[in-house]
Amino acid sequence: MGYGLLKGKKGIISGALDENSIAWKAALKAKEEGAEIILTNAPIAMRMGEINKLAEMCDAKIVAADATDVADLEKLYREAMDTFGGGVDFVLHSIGMSPNIRKGKEYGDLNYDWYMKSIDVSALSFHKFMAVAEKLDAINEWGSVVGLSYIAAQRTFSFYTDMADAKAVLESIGRSYGYRYGKAKNVRVNTISQSPTKTTAGTGIGGFNAFYEYAEKMSPLGNASAEDCANYIISLFSDYTRMVTMQNLFHDGGYSMTGISAEVLDMITPGE
Ligand code: NAI
How far apart CA 241 and CA 235 sit, in angstroms, is 7
Q: Name the nearest CA neighbour of 30 among 53, 68, 72, 2.
A: 2
Edge to edge, what strands does the sheet with 139-149 contain?
61-64, 36-41, 10-14, 88-93, 139-149, 188-194, 248-251
Question: What ipTM was predicted for this assembly?
Answer: 0.99
pLDDT at 86 over 90: yes
Listed by start position, the domains of the chain span 10-268
Q: Name the nearest CA neighbour of 159 among 215, 115, 101.
A: 101
pLDDT at 244 over 80: yes
Q: How confident is the model at residue 272 (pLDDT cuts 50, 70, 90)?
A: confident
pLDDT at 1 over 80: no
pLDDT digits (tens, 9 = 90+) for 174-208: 999 999 999 999 999 999 999 999 998 888 888 88
Q: Which CATH architecture has domain 10-268?
A: 3-Layer(aba) Sandwich (3.40)
25 within 8 A of 230, measured Cβ to Cβ: yes
CA of 142 to the centre of ligand 1 (A): 26
Cα four-point dihedral sign 128, 134, 135, 138 = positive
Neighbours of 246 (CB within 10 A): 17
How far apart CA 163 and CA 201 sit, in angstroms, is 11
- Ligand 1: residues within 6 Å at CB? 14-15, 17, 21-23, 41-42, 45, 66-68, 94-97, 121, 148-150, 194, 196-197, 199-202
How far apart CA 5 and CA 89 sit, in angstroms, is 13
Predicted structure pTM score: 0.98
The counts of H helices and E strands in the chain are 11, 7
Q: Which amino acid is at 21?
A: S
Neighbours of 13 (CB within 10 A): 31
Ligand 1 nearest-atom number relative to CA 45? 11
CA of 36 to the centre of ligand 1 (A): 22
122 within 8 A of 163, measured Cβ to Cβ: yes
